Amino acid sequence: MFLRSFIPQHHLGEESKNIVISVGIGLVGAMAGLVLALLVTAAQNNFLDKRNELKEMSAKIIYLDEILVDYGPEANEVRTLLRSTVLNYIHEYWPGGISKRVGMQPDMTGSNVLYEKIRSLIPRSDDQRSLRDKALTTSLELTQLHDFRIVEMDKSVPITFLIVLVLLVFWIASIFFTLGIYTPPNSTLIAILALFALLVTIAFFLIIDLNLPFEGVLRMPSAPLTEALGHIGE
């Protein structure tokens, strides 16, 4: 809008405005809108995938605990170890106040220790042997899910994603720059452009925040694992 005063008025006529606004901004706006929608959808799918992984972990934890209960009192020590392992998961994924709310201090118990503890159980019947085999399989699957989750928590952003994001910012900035050139500087239009810019900024915020499900403002809820933790204590 400031640069508008330095541009000859005949360059800002209706013919130029129609070409720039209708053709230029229409084309760039369509591309930017498509890419923005794809990025928001991809970020949302990423968030939902992580939540489904947590639900799967929670289901396996509850299933493993039920197997240990059916095994008998000999598995009580393993159940205690399972509870410590789940608490350690919570502390890893959500460092801070969550571990205090669940009422235990985190330790360094790992899934591998849990697997070895289950393997050390000595079955006294065919039923116990079958239950121990199921517990070993479930514990191994739980370890794999946890290891996969730790690998995914890498905070580095793919260079391809950054390139697309920078290009998208450039396209949208170009649109607002062009609108500013052809927009008379009055308070109503300035407020409308500011509102549009805010809405686009929120979209960028969603893209970045949903790609960091365990760190951002829209942080992944810990309910699946805390519910599984409560189940172990029953």
Query: Does 157 reside within a domain?
Result: yes
Q: How many domains does the chain have?
A: 1
Query: Does 94 reside within a domain?
Result: yes
Give the domain range for residue 27: 12-232
- Whether the CB-CB separation of 135 and 118 falls below 8 Å is answered with yes
Per-residue tokens: 173: 């900035």
The pTM (predicted TM-score) of the whole model is: 0.74
Query: Does 7 reside within a domain?
Result: no
Is pLDDT of 214 > 90? no
- Whether the CB-CB separation of 50 and 213 falls below 8 Å is answered with yes
- pLDDT per residue as tens digits for the range 25-62: 888 888 888 888 888 888 888 888 888 989 999 999 99
**What are 166-170's contacts with CB under 8 Å, separation 24+?**
167/35, 168/32, 168/35, 168/36, 168/39, 169/204
Q: What's the pLDDT score for residue 5?
A: 77
Query: Does 45 reside within a domain?
Result: yes
Confidence band of 195 (pLDDT split at 50, 70, 90)? very high
Q: What's the pLDDT score for residue 155?
A: 56
Confidence band of 101 (pLDDT split at 50, 70, 90)? very low
Confidence band of 133 (pLDDT split at 50, 70, 90)? very high
Query: Does 176 reside within a domain?
Result: yes
The pLDDT of 104-131, averaged and rounded, is: 77
Per-residue tokens: 157: 């952003």
Among residues 79, 147, 86, which one has the least CA distance to residue 117?
79
- pLDDT per residue as tens digits for the range 157-178: 678 878 888 888 898 988 888 8
Confidence band of 64 (pLDDT split at 50, 70, 90)? very high
Query: Does 1 reside within a domain?
Result: no
Distance, CA of 202 to CA of 199 (rounded, Å): 5
Mean pLDDT rounded to a whole number for the chain:
82
Query: Does 2 reside within a domain?
Result: no
